[in-house]
Structure 1
Amino acid sequence: MVSVVRRYYAYRATLTNGFYLPVSVIYMETRGLGLAEIGFVQGVFLFGMVAAELPTGYLADYLGRRRTLALGNAVTASVMTAFVFAATVTHFTAIYLLWAVAWTLRSGTSDAWLYELLEREGLDGEFARLSGRAESVLLVVSAVSALVAGVLYTVDPVFPFTANAAVAAVGLPILFTLPQTQNAENDEPPMTLRRAASLLRGQFSRPSIGWLVVYAALFNVVFSVTRVFEQPALREIGVPVAGLGVLYAGFKLVSAVATSAAGPVQDRIGTRGVMLSLVPIFGVLYASFAVVPLLLIPAVFVRRAVSQLVRPVRNEYINDRLENVGRATVLSGVSMVLSLASGTANVLGGPVAEEIGPVVFLAATGVAVSIAAGVLWLLTSPIRDDSSQGTDNTRTIQVN
């Protein structure tokens, strides 16, 4: 069993996007894309994730976890290779649509495989510890690869993408050394489209869930547009390409620390305190680099830390208010809402960022969202105490 878990850690390491992420946007700029076109392409990626989430979930049940994960790695390797040849908006749009499919093939399925394996061995109580360790392995590998990415890019801009393709391909032989798992039995009736729509409508109409989703979607807009436009913004204030690799390595390490700090912070200030703190943090943070542009550097670090810290707190709050029946459908619905908000912001924000500059655009977005979220909080109280706990709330299910 120890050997199997170690191989699983090795597989999770091949999911890194550390070579690709620090240089992806500036690479598209060198291929002639403007910020408006980059925003469009990134928005297409998020919309593609929304469209692919449910079909790939069905595919995972049909093919089995291991085959689905292998397909995800194969598609990822193909996507990274395709970056080398892409030269137009149409090319990059097609690539990002395929990348969205690859992402949804892997997201959640790897955790499902581990949980089913541990459940079969009577060790399902170890899931949180082992999955957390696997995530730490991924973050460390991503940090190291991000350091290398900037150097590779200065040698040849296509090298980071070929390196990421090679890492994804290495995951294939590792996967086929892992055992098959049998999908857990499910006594629920089939989730038809009509039943899913009715369930989502009922849950989102509850103030304790619906307003929290709206509040979270606002800040997801800030998280998303910052991730998309931070590379040109950092270049605008003078950060070199090699420096981007160093920064992204730091982002991964900060994310790892923030993830582990979520529980203690929540214990100290509570769920309400964590979620409300987003308003002053982002209002002040994003206003600061509108005045002193170099403050963008600490701002992007804080953005990473806060998003990693808030995600498990938000997920626990939502999980606590759901019954077991239909839980996965509601969580998928939340994920879709957040992705749609982010995708729309990227598409609409691209032309604005191109017109006024990425630094000013990010600062204005952060301040505007903080004001809107503050007003929403006063009018609706998104965090409420009413909860409807099911019988299996011991494990927090993540939504993006």
Structure 2
Amino acid sequence: MSQRRVYYLLTAVSGFLWTFAFTLLLVFHVRVAELSPVQLVLVGTVMEITCFLGEVPTGVLADARSRTLSVQLGLLLIGLSLLLQGGLPVFGGILAAQVVWGIGYTFTSGAIEAWIADEVGEDQLTHVFLRGERLELGAMILGSVAAGAVGVVDLRLPMLLAGAGYIVLAFVLVALMREPHFTPAAADRRLTFGLMRTTLAAGLRQARERPLVRSFLLVSLLVGLSGEAFDRLWTAHLLPSLPDVLPAAVWFAGLAIVGQLIGLAANYAGERAGLTGNDHPGRLLAVLTLVQVAGAAVFALAGTLWVAVGALWARNAAGALSGPLQSAWLNRGIESSSRATVLSVNSQFDAIGQVVGGPPLGALAGRTSIPVSLLVSAGLLAPAAWIFARLERRADAALSAP
């Protein structure tokens, strides 16, 4: 099987398992574990601290030793974390599961994108990432259906079954994933601290010297500052507005399915219309960022259920189109030898933002209200639109220079 197809298999199956596990996760946190708004944000903060501490070491290991091994270990740990969380639904157990999940996530973060970028070539990245996103969204629809069906029986079951599925996927990828176009820094398989320092230094040098990388680091910081509170509190904000005619599991699964269909349509329409063909899509990313900001703000302020839900769908659809474009653009701008390290540093800035922004916004929700916290989080993302627009202007100036 070609590595491109293995990548599509990985994105589709992991998309299904991710949605199967996480569609009802916050409902589980509120209804089963009975976490408060502050505890909801603290759960995310513990996870992000773990990601912050683990991102660079795991990225360096992926560049120095093996990106495929890094992905497989990460999926195994994610599976174990879900089994722990579903099996021990109390605040302490959930915090422990976040640590395991965070370590697992950092093994996959950057390693997947770096692996496939080497295997398919940079000129194919935008198409591969967009198609992978469509396959992932399609699989996520099935995952939401499965979560709704199983979650009605017990809100813990989706996590337990998805955890087992991640472990199986990890072992399947041991047989299928290859990296023939990757030359590890530890070519002789002796991984030393000196070699790790050299790989890390090369990645940090790119982060310092390349304006594109520096700009993406700042965007990731803003996304983290904005995203943690929204991701943890939107469910608690929406729950009181849902009619009692259906169980909460069915409501949230249904909302997720429609949102994923909208995201899938936006992804497909954007590529068909040629909007995604630009190697420097700064203006498009700026517009998509503003859509996310407006969607989050309307969601926070909406006085009716369906206005809020429509705003949420618009925000998430813009993110579904923006994500692959950002990944392709950043991957084209960094060297292969330290690609996973640079991508991990980028993810680390997101984690810093979430750790710094999450607790204050959670406390703000407790002192004032959840809508106030959501509105502030939307405003924190707005400067990212200006950064993307500035990158586009720099690219245009470089092309027009003699």
Distance 2:264 2:158 in 1: 23
- Tell me the secondary structure at the aligned position of residue 176 of structure 1: helix
- Partner residue, 1:286: 297
- 1:200 to 2:207 alignment: yes
Match of 1:150 among 145, 148, 151: 148
Change (3 A) 1:251 1:288: closer
Distance 1:9 1:67 in 2: 18
Match of 2:264 among 223, 235, 256: 256
Match of 2:40 among 31, 38, 41: 38
- Partner residue, 2:383: 373
Change (3 A) 1:172 1:218: closer
**Once superposed, what is the RMSD of the aligned Cα atoms?**
4.0
Shift of 1:283: 4.1
Change (3 A) 1:187 1:38: closer
Distance 1:169 1:358 in 2: 36
- Partner residue, 1:395: none
- Tell me the secondary structure at the aligned position of residue 394 of structure 2: coil
- Partner residue, 1:28: 29
Change (3 A) 1:326 1:105: closer
Change (3 A) 1:259 1:45: farther
Change (3 A) 1:117 1:317: closer
Report Cα offsets for 1:23-47 as digits up to 9, x if no partner: 1122122213211111011122223
Report Cα offsets for 1:206-225 as digits up to 9, x if no partner: 5x765665456435533443
Match of 2:361 among 349, 367, 371: 349
Distance 2:214 2:119 in 1: 35
Shift of 1:202: 4.2
Contact 2:233–2:370 at 8 Å: present in 1 too? Answer: yes
Contact 1:226–1:300 at 8 Å: present in 2 too? Answer: no
- Comparing 169-178 and 16-25, the one that deviates more: 169-178
- After superposition, residues 1-400 of structure 1 pair within 5 angstroms as 1=1, 9-15=8-14, 16-29=17-30, 30-61=32-63, 64-114=66-116, 129=127, 132-178=130-176, 180-182=178-180, 184-185=182-183, 191=198, 193=200, 196-197=203-204, 199-203=206-210, 210=214, 213-214=217-218, 217-238=221-242, 240-262=248-270, 264-265=274-275, 271-272=282-283, 274-275=285-286, 278-279=289-290, 282-283=293-294, 286-287=297-298, 289-294=300-305, 295-315=307-327, 329-366=341-378, 368-369=379-380, 373=383, 377=386, 382-383=390-391, 385-387=393-395
Unaligned runs of 5+ residues in structure 2 are 187-194
Aligned residue pairs, count: 378
TM-score where L is the length of structure 1? 0.77
Shift of 1:5: 6.0
Report Cα offsets for 1:145-177 as digits up to 9, x if no partner: 112212322211211111212321331442233
Contact 1:139–1:253 at 8 Å: present in 2 too? Answer: yes
Contact 1:73–1:171 at 8 Å: present in 2 too? Answer: yes
Change (3 A) 1:214 1:33: same
Identity of aligned residues (%): 18
- Comparing 51-60 and 355-364, the one that deviates more: 355-364
- Tell me the secondary structure at the aligned position of residue 386 of structure 1: helix
- Comparing 179-188 and 9-18, the one that deviates more: 179-188
Unaligned runs of 5+ residues in structure 1 are 391-400
Distance 2:281 2:127 in 1: 23
Distance 1:65 1:215 in 2: 25
Change (3 A) 1:238 1:5: same
Contact 1:262–1:313 at 8 Å: present in 2 too? Answer: no
Change (3 A) 1:162 1:115: same
Change (3 A) 1:103 1:219: closer
Contact 2:223–2:353 at 8 Å: present in 1 too? Answer: no
Change (3 A) 1:209 1:62: closer
Shift of 1:117: 5.4
Report Cα offsets for 1:43-66 as digits up to 9, x if no partner: 222232222222223433566344
Distance 2:208 2:281 in 1: 28
- Partner residue, 1:398: none
Contact 2:281–2:325 at 8 Å: present in 1 too? Answer: no
Change (3 A) 1:328 1:234: same
Shift of 1:382: 3.9
Contact 1:22–1:146 at 8 Å: present in 2 too? Answer: yes
- Tell me the secondary structure at the aligned position of residue 152 of structure 2: helix
Report Cα offsets for 1:78-106 as digits up to 9, x if no partner: 11110123244332222112111212222
